[in-house]
Amino acid sequence: MRWRDALELAARSVLRRPGRAALTMLAVALATALLTALLTIADTAETRVLDELAEGGPISAIQVAAAEATPGQVQQDDLDAGAEKDLDEGALEAIRGIAQVRAVLPVLTTPVFVDRPTETAAGRPLEPFRDEMVGADLSRPGLLPVTTLEGRLPSPTSLTEVAVSQGYLERLRLDATQADQVIGTEIRLAAGRLFPEEGDELRVRGRWIRLEVVGVVAQEAGSGQLLVPLRQAQIARAWSQAGPDRGAELGTGTSDFTGLVVVARGIDEVADVRAAIDDIGYATSAPENVVASVRNYLGVVDIVLTSVGVIALTVAALGIANALLAAVRERQREIGVLKAIGARDRDVLAVFVVEAGVLGFVGGVLGTGLGAAVAAGVGELVNRYLVEQGLATVSLRLSTPIMVGGVVGATLLALIGGLVPAWRAAHLPARDAVVGA
């Protein structure tokens, strides 16, 4: 018998007993749904936890400081900087040339004075304050250690937009859930420059600009509450450095960049990239040790969740085996007739195995869809909680391997579950089968 004919015959048998087939497929579907949902949630949770460890950015990001590396620096996650060392275009190109580097994003932090807004959201006076403006290459925000909590990032080329951090919200006495209140507001700030006055006096004058707040972020690209495109920070610092002290009094420094965000091609490449940067002579930091530890723990969680799903699938496979054993008993005469008209043992085996496969495949497809829906529902609940906590939301990803694995796994387990009944059917003595039942 051809496989196509066996499939057709199996499908007819399934359709002839729709109630039993539906219940069997439901068991498979529920088990597959459980497995799919658990794996999807675990996968998303893992990504989220690792992202959090990397402060919102890619987990393979390395922060490079404008400082010399100290001995043993690459062995630890935290920055252990030595003497200051300028980060210029040459260093940037050298690091960009490391084989395992995917991207190098320069960061420039420069001091500014902020005098607007003059009031907090509660109407209380807000004193002008000094802070850092963090300029970064915002053309590839997904590679930066930045998470948008509300609104959006400034346009990469804009000189009129700014994103603020949670520290800025605190200054305005707002909590994370009230982040939307600052979107669309204006900040007036200035980069300072020393000007000589009569005699030996020096006076600070500012280059004032107005920026519109377009987003609230959690960021670790640099220490400052104001995130702007790199060009904006470069203009501000150039103004400050045009003074007689070249900005030294105001602390602008001499380095072209105050830091770099270096993204390795993968988490496993981080150590090599850090070592290469260390060789070039710069201090680095990356949460690789913490990430490695957490990955180990998450691996255990994965195993537990997968085991739960596999147990559910196994129970479903036993359900299929039970249903097929009942079918073999019920269809004993049918099996005998098949043999009487010339079916070989393997023809009968094929019909029952295919029938099990059909039940498993259809159940697997339905279950994977159901699992995706369950995972999406859980994701919705989780996102509500995260928003309430002032944290960035998660996007549940039903990955292709999980989908394919769900359907293939359900089909395979169903086939395994169907093997014993199919074997029994195939080896029924022909005469007993014809006379029996």
The residue ranges that bind other proteins (CB under 8 A) are 1-2, 5, 9, 12-13, 15-16, 333-334, 336-345, 347, 429-431, 434-435
What's the min distance (Å) between Cβ of 332 and other proteins? Answer: 12
Q: Which one, 71 or 342, has the nearer CB to other proteins?
A: 342
What's the min distance (Å) between Cβ of 5 and other proteins? Answer: 5
Bridge partner list, 228: 135
Bridge partner list, 151: 215
Report d(CA 390, CA 307) in Å as an integer: 33
Geometric angle at alpha carbon 362, from 361 and 367, rounded to 5°: 95
Q: For 354, what's the count of Cα atoms within 13 Å in the CB-facing half-sphere?
A: 20
Q: Which one, 275 or 340, has the nearer CB to other proteins?
A: 340
What's the min distance (Å) between Cβ of 350 and other proteins? Answer: 11
What's the min distance (Å) between Cβ of 330 and other proteins? Answer: 11
Q: Which one, 193 or 339, has the nearer CB to other proteins?
A: 339
Q: Which one, 1 or 294, has the nearer CB to other proteins?
A: 1
What's the min distance (Å) between Cβ of 266 and other proteins? Answer: 52
Measure Cα distances from 408 to 181, 234, 357, 367, 373 in Å. Answer: 49, 55, 10, 12, 19
What's the min distance (Å) between Cβ of 343 and other proteins? Answer: 5
390 phi/psi in degrees, rounded to 5: 75, 25
Residue whose C-alpha is closest to residue 422's, from 341, 359, 365, 370: 359
What's the min distance (Å) between Cβ of 334 and other proteins? Answer: 6
Report d(CA 63, CA 168) in Å as an integer: 23
Q: Which one, 13 or 148, has the nearer CB to other proteins?
A: 13
Q: Is 101 helix (H, G, I), strand (E, B) or coil?
A: strand
Q: Which one, 35 or 422, has the nearer CB to other proteins?
A: 422
Q: Which one, 154 or 336, has the nearer CB to other proteins?
A: 336
Q: Which one, 303 or 340, has the nearer CB to other proteins?
A: 340
Report d(CA 29, CA 360) in Å as an integer: 8
Q: Is 22 helix (H, G, I), strand (E, B) or coil?
A: helix
Q: Which one, 3 or 122, has the nearer CB to other proteins?
A: 3
Name the CA radius of gyration of the chain, rounded: 32
What's the min distance (Å) between Cβ of 348 and other proteins? Answer: 10
Q: Which one, 275 or 435, has the nearer CB to other proteins?
A: 435
| Residue corresponding to tokens 């609940």 | 381
What's the min distance (Å) between Cβ of 345 and other proteins? Answer: 8
Q: 160: which residues sit within 8 A by CB, 6+ positions away?
A: 210, 211, 212
Neighbours of 299 (CB within 10 A): 11
| Residue corresponding to tokens 């020096």 | 202
What's the min distance (Å) between Cβ of 291 and other proteins? Answer: 57
Residue whose C-alpha is closest to residue 232's, from 92, 138, 128: 138
Amino acid at 375: A
Q: 4: which residues sit within 8 A by CB, 6+ positions away?
A: none
What's the min distance (Å) between Cβ of 406 and other proteins? Answer: 29
Say if residues 234 and 270 touch (Cβ distance below 8 Å). no
Output DSSP code: residue 154. Answer: P
60-71 burial, b if ≥16 CB within 10 A, otherwise e?
A: bbbbbbbbebee
173 phi/psi in degrees, rounded to 5: 60, 40
What's the min distance (Å) between Cβ of 329 and other proteins? Answer: 16
Q: Which one, 15 or 83, has the nearer CB to other proteins?
A: 15
Q: Which one, 380 or 432, has the nearer CB to other proteins?
A: 432
Say if residues 133 and 110 touch (Cβ distance below 8 Å). yes
Say if residues 145 and 208 touch (Cβ distance below 8 Å). no
